[in-house]
A and B are shown apart, each in its own frame.
Chain A
Amino acid sequence: MPITKDDVENIAMLARLELTDEETEAFTRQLGSILDYIDKLDELDTADVPRISPCSTASGDTEYARRDDVVRPGLGQRLATENAPDAEAGYFKVPKVIGG
């Protein structure tokens, strides 16, 4: 199915990307040709094929990895906020949330 400019604007909203008009136009064209190529997968009948487990191993073991639930020290507020563009008193500061 062809991808439209409206589709691209909607995806950009979902992905939290404020695209310029040029970017929207370029992505409409480029994603269209990439998706055309991807449609090649429709050649294959996969009705009876299982989905791969994202992290399968040699043994075919698909058990979830588990660990003991023990308390370990975390980073702490100072280290956790050290890289923040804006922080105060151990908190991250952001522009206003309501009214956006």
Chain B
Amino acid sequence: MQGCRGAGVQGCRGAGVPQEQGSVESSIISTEIYLELRELSIRTIRERIAARTLSAVELCRAALDRIERLSELNAFITVTADAALARAEQIDRAAASGDPLPPLAGAIIAIKDNMVISGVRTTAGSRILFNYKPPYTATAVERLRQAGAIVVGKTNCDEFAMGSSNENSAYGPVKNPWDAARVPGGSSGGSAVAVAAGMATAALGSDTGGSIRQPASLCGVVGIKPTYGRVSRYGLIAFGSSLDQIGPLANSVEDVARILNSIAGRDSSDSTSSDIETDDYVAALEGDARGLRVGVPRQYYGEGLDPEVRAHIEAAIKKFEEMGAEIVDVGLPHTEYAVPVYYLIATAEASSNLARYDGVRYGFRAEEAPTLKEMYSRTRDQGFGAEVKRRIMLGTYALSAGYYDAYYGKAQKVRSLIESDFRNAFASCDVIATPTSPTPAFRLGEKTDDPLEMYLSDIYTITVNLAGVPGVSLPCGLSSEGLPIGIQLIGRHFDEARLLRAARNLERAIAFNSKPGAVENL
């Protein structure tokens, strides 16, 4: 396998993924497998590699071929072909010698490009980090590797994870595989597309206000934002530190549970990671939904919700009822304040976190600045995109002298009211069911001129980050235009086990098995 020619590095743009110079035979096998990549669960991959009916190298080549063929979707910023194939060879060797395989052996995983991997370019979708090669690896990525996963590359995302459409990336927008004229959602759009279009078995994303769940919904895959503190954020490029959380996207609830098993748990390198015991999230999937109390908050079904989305969510809730769950009316009365609270807290934290990008220690530096101060401000103006600057400005304002109490202080108080809403609701239910996004995927460019309208597309997901609870999105149907619709289930703090069991039961009842067709015509 050739690397990125001449670059001397393993990272290169998706469009430049080199073709395998292998035989005709291997490309036939690859074709056969890539048609199946979306069908192969993590468990099946491991079992078939152990039984020697599937080779990790062939699976990896199939993924790389698929990434190359679908480069127009722009899902990847960097593809780590050489390292992935070397890892796959190790796994095949272990299987050949009859060694027991680790739990994620052979699973092809894509990593959002805001998580660092030692020696692999990490951009966070920003020009300001266009050439950054981190000297260390994120804990979540390291744990996936330890568990036998094959990291195939870094996925495109909104710059510093700020956005709901993936149109804020300095490396170009990502396109939705269900309709390439539409957005995949954001900010983990590349991760959602990699899974939906069969370029990877699963992916890691990060979620500050819906950035895993909303793209999962718009691309027809499963994505979970775990409880704040459940997964280590060491090596995740910080955006809103009291909200950020890493989580998996995959084709099934079982696969996200399997990945969560590998990445959850205390990490001494992240002091906000929790030492509360983890569960076996795969074992927890067993059991039916009888007696489960499903809360339906009326505040999430009002103005702005697309009628088709509403109909699908209501049908899904009906399925819960048919399975013997109890449907409970709950109130989350402060929901309407969540967007303003979020856009104060997240931007205030971002303005502080992004102060480190100053052109001194890494990344882009503006040319020809005569003084240090001008070097800082020109580097930041040229290195950041419009949305990032807008949020830094808003956050700086919210924290500035004379406004701190009126904005940031007020937002923190209302945030505690929102968290109380959830605690009160969970006194009478076990999970809460809502839409993930008010609409299916919108068109590229449709909302770019109106930041506020873009912010409102996160209205059902940001409350979950503000309260710190876990939320999962899973597909529950297609719109009349053939676009996926996601339902969000929300659980109690650190109750991912029950949340995923509820999701597994609903997934089985809905039996969503549509696949994006648009990609096959690219």
Contact = CB atoms under 8 A, between A and B. Distances in A.
Interface string A14-38: 1111111001000100110111011
16 contacts: A3-B397, A11-B400, A38-B343, A41-B410, A46-B414, A51-B416, A52-B419, A57-B228, A58-B227, A58-B492, A58-B494, A82-B133, A83-B362, A85-B364, A95-B370, A97-B371
B493 A57 contact: yes
Pairs A-B, 8 closest by C-beta atoms = A100-B371, A58-B493, A83-B362, A85-B365, A18-B377, A52-B416, A65-B271, A54-B242
Contacts of B236: none
B292 interface: no
A56 B419 contact: yes
B277 to A, nearest CB: 11
Contacts of B135: 75, 79-80, 82-83
Interface in B349-395: 351, 355, 358-365, 369-378, 380-381, 384, 386, 389-390, 392-394
Interface of B: 131-135, 227-229, 241-242, 268, 271-272, 274, 276, 334, 336-337, 339-341, 343-344, 351, 355, 358-365, 369-378, 380-381, 384, 386, 389-390, 392-394, 396-397, 400, 407, 409-417, 419, 451-452, 455, 468, 492-494
Contact of A95 (B229, B334, B375): B375
B11 to A, nearest CB: 14
Contacts of B228: 55, 57
B340 A37 contact: yes
Contacts of A41: 337, 340-341, 410-411, 414
A85 B340 contact: no
B372 A97 contact: yes
Contacts of B268: 67
A95 B369 contact: yes
B390 A95 contact: no
Interface in A41-98: 41-42, 44, 46, 49-52, 54-59, 65, 67, 75, 79-86, 92, 94-97
B152 to A, nearest CB: 24
A44 B393 contact: no
A63 B352 CA distance: 23
B381 A17 contact: yes
B396 A14 contact: yes
A3 B402 CA distance: 14
Given A17-B377, A65-B272, A84-B362, A37 B452 contact: yes
Given A41-B410, A57-B229, A100 B380 contact: no
A52 B415 contact: yes
Contacts of A30: 390, 451
A38 B133 CA distance: 38
Q: Is the interface of B mostly helix, strand, loop or mixed?
A: helix
A69 to B, nearest CB: 13
Nearest to A27: B393
Contacts of B492: 58
A94 B390 CA distance: 27
A6 to B, nearest CB: 13
Contacts of B371: 95-97, 99-100
Contact of B276 (A37, A58, A84, A97): A58
Contacts of B400: 11, 14
Contact of A16 (B241, B376, B494): B376
Which residue of A42, A52, A65, A86 has the most chain B CB atoms within 10 A of its CB atom?
A52
Nearest to B365: A85
A38 B370 contact: no
B392 A17 contact: yes
B447 to A, nearest CB: 13
Nearest to B411: A41
Contacts of B373: 16, 100
B392 A55 contact: no
A8 B393 contact: yes
B419 to A, nearest CB: 6
Contact of B360 (A44, A94, A100): A94
A37 B365 CA distance: 35
Contacts of B412: 51-52, 54
Contact of A49 (B377, B384, B416, B452): B416
Contact of A18 (B360, B378, B396): B378
B57 to A, nearest CB: 32
B518 to A, nearest CB: 33
B190 to A, nearest CB: 23
Given A44-B417, A49-B413, A15 B375 contact: no
Contacts of B336: 40
Contact of B361 (A20, A44, A84, A95): A84
A14 B268 CA distance: 34
A36 to B, nearest CB: 9
A27 B392 contact: no
A86 B359 CA distance: 9
B341 A15 contact: no
A34 to B, nearest CB: 6
Contacts of B355: 16
B452 A92 contact: no
Contact of A50 (B272, B337, B416): B416
A42 to B, nearest CB: 8
